[in-house]
């Protein structure tokens, strides 16, 4: 039996990578005050990429890596059983994402409910990538991935609203497509283009297309990890080399197709994917080669229940915001009350806001630690 179908080796670095990604994701999503956030913990206002903008693609990348090891039971081939599992997980995660934004008032305002979101993109990226990777060989996957990135670049230019920059939210084909398919009432209403607030979904339907390639890049790295299991030095060298090539290719493409998370541009896919490969190589070197364990166990807790940890962090925040009352004649909620009472008096600016986010991440970690110690792993 060849390497691609043999029982894959156990890489603790994958759990570590997932754990680091989730910990950082919770921190950047739950600032104590959005008026005071350290620059690296903010998203780019529009074009560009901060460390925070690397979190989401890193999670989708490691989903792809994990898929390679998980689908070993199907010999990395499409079967009816695999198809049922993929469909079930995709639908379940998508539905959870839609319902999550409705907590706790599931029965209200469905005419303005947000359809897309982070779990929904994870669901579609996973499901569509899974169909491709189980039906296509490696060479064809590379061609299809390149074709998707080029196709998306073309769509962004050919189907944008006329008369404006196709890479700005209000003129983009992303907005045009989502308005047509979902309706403006079902889009996220947030800040884009440097602070302008308008209906635009950064996890929209059209921009999910290139995110499929992010997952495929992870899958190909997972296959690489199995094929190179007897020569980790070669694996690390290749991951670093290809990661650098992809990263610099993304930077070069940025001159024509700007790196942009909210549009999930093709240049962003290559840039973030290349850095994800480099981070994965560093994780393999530290965790699997050098056997570094001091401090690493902290991240294994999140890595073991990564999707649950993310959903837990989002649901708790939504619940906190939904519990409101009057304080000093002003409306407040649980999150604001905790921040203003406990953390704001410490410093009142970025450090206090960061301490709140760090403490919230640790709260989620304690819950996940309880599951981890009891070997309870919540899967979809």
The rounded distance, in Å, linking the Cα atoms of 109 and 269 is 35
Scanning the structure block, which residue is given the tokens 């074709």? 147
Query: Integer distance in angstroms from the first to the last C-alpha of the chain?
Result: 30
Q: Exposed (0-12), middle (13-18) or buried (19+): which is 332, by Cβ within 10 Å?
A: middle
The rounded distance, in Å, linking the Cα atoms of 201 and 192 is 10
Q: What range defines the domain where residue 321 resides?
A: 1-42+292-380
Question: Would residue 103 count as lying in a domain?
Answer: no
Query: DSSP letter string over 317-343?
Result: HHHHHH-EEEETTEEEEHHHHHIIIII
Question: Would residue 221 count as lying in a domain?
Answer: yes
- Degrees, nearest 5: CA angle 62-64-68: 115
Name all contacts of 184-188 with Cβ < 8 Å and 24+ positions apart. 185/111, 185/112, 186/112, 186/113, 186/114, 186/115, 187/114, 187/116, 188/114, 188/116, 188/117
Residues 146 and 187 in one domain: yes
Beta-bridge mates of residue 333: 324
Residue after which a domain boundary falls, among 270, 290, 310: 290
**207 with 219: CB under 8 angstroms?**
no
Scanning the structure block, which residue is given the tokens 């940890």? 309
**364 with 309: CB under 8 angstroms?**
yes
Specify the length of the chain in residues.
380
Q: Which region, left, alpha or beta, applies to residue 76 given φ > 0 means left and ψ of -120 to 50 means alpha? A: left
The rounded distance, in Å, linking the Cα atoms of 14 and 7 is 16
Residue after which a domain boundary falls, among 240, 260, 290: 290
Residues 260 and 318 in one domain: no
Residues 311 and 269 in one domain: no
Residues 90 and 70 in one domain: yes
Residues 273 and 162 in one domain: yes
Question: Would residue 105 count as lying in a domain?
Answer: no
Instruction: Report the number of distinct structural domains present in the chain.
Output: 2
Residues 313 and 369 in one domain: yes
**Taking the chain (380 residues) in consecutive chunks of 10 residues, what is each chunk's mean pLDDT?**
48 94 95 92 93 96 95 93 95 93 80 90 97 95 97 96 92 95 89 79 95 97 88 90 97 96 97 97 93 89 94 91 78 88 91 96 96 90
Residues 125 and 83 in one domain: yes
Q: What is the pLDDT of residue 4?
A: 42
Question: Would residue 51 count as lying in a domain?
Answer: yes
Residues 124 and 68 in one domain: yes
Residue after which a domain boundary falls, among 240, 267, 290: 290
Beta-bridge mates of residue 325: 332
Helix 306-322 vs helix 350-373: angle between axes, to the nearest 10 degrees? 130
The rounded distance, in Å, linking the Cα atoms of 356 and 283 is 28
Query: Which stretch of DSSP H or E encloses residue 191?
Result: strand 189-192
Question: Would residue 355 count as lying in a domain?
Answer: yes
Question: Would residue 274 count as lying in a domain?
Answer: yes
Residue 190, CA distances (Å) to 45, 47, 194, 335 in order = 11, 16, 11, 20
Residues 284 and 168 in one domain: yes
The closest alpha carbon to 121, from 56, 180, 177, belongs to: 56
Question: Would residue 104 count as lying in a domain?
Answer: no
Residues 243 and 360 in one domain: no
Residues 142 and 127 in one domain: yes
Q: What is the pLDDT of residue 2?
A: 38
Residues 60 and 70 in one domain: yes
Q: What is the pLDDT of residue 321?
A: 83
**114 with 204: CB under 8 angstroms?**
no
């Amino acid at each position: 039996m060849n390497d691609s179908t043999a029982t894959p080796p156990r890489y603790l670095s994958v759990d570590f990578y997932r754990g680091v990604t989730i910990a950082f994701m919770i921190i950047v999503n739950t600032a104590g005050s959005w008026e005071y956030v350290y620059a690296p913990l903010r998203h780019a206002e529009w074009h560009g990429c901060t460390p925070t903008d690397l979190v989401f693609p890193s999670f989708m990348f490691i989903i792809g890596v994990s898929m390679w090891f998980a689908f070993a039971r199907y010999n990395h081939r499409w079967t009816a059983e695999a198809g049922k599992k993929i469909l079930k997980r995709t639908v379940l995660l998508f539905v959870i994402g839609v319902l999550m934004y409705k907590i706790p008032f599931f029965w209200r305002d469905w005419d303005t409910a947000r359809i897309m979101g982070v779990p929904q993109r994870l669901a579609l990226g996973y499901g569509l990538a899974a169909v491709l990777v189980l039906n296509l060989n490696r060479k064809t996957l590379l061609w299809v991935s390149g074709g998707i990135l080029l196709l998306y670049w073309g769509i962004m230019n050919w189907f944008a609203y006329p008369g404006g920059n196709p890479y700005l939210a209000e003129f983009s084909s992303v907005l045009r497509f989502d308005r047509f398919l979902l309706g403006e009432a079902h889009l996220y209403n947030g800040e884009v283009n440097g602070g302008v607030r308008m209906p635009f979904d950064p996890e929209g339907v059209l921009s999910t297309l290139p995110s499929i390639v992010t997952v495929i890049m992870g899958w190909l790295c997972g296959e690489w990890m199995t094929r190179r299991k007897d020569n980790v030095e070669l694996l690390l060298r290749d991951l670093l080399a290809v990661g650098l090539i992809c990263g610099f290719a993304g930077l070069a493409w940025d001159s024509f197709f700007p790196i942009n998370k909210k549009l999930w541009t093709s240049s962003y896919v290559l840039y973030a994917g290349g850095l994800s490969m480099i981070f994965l190589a560093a994780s393999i070197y530290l965790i699997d080669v050098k056997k570094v364990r001091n401090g690493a166990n902290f991240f294994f807790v999140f890595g073991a229940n990564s999707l649950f940890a993310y959903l837990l962090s989002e649901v708790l925040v939504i619940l906190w915001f939904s519990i409101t009352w009057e304080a000093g004649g002003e409306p407040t909620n649980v999150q604001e009350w905790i921040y203003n009472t406990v953390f704001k008096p410490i410093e009142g600016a970025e450090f206090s806001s960061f301490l709140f986010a760090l403490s919230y991440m640790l709260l989620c970690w304690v819950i996940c630690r309880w599951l981890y110690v009891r070997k309870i792993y919540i899967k979809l």
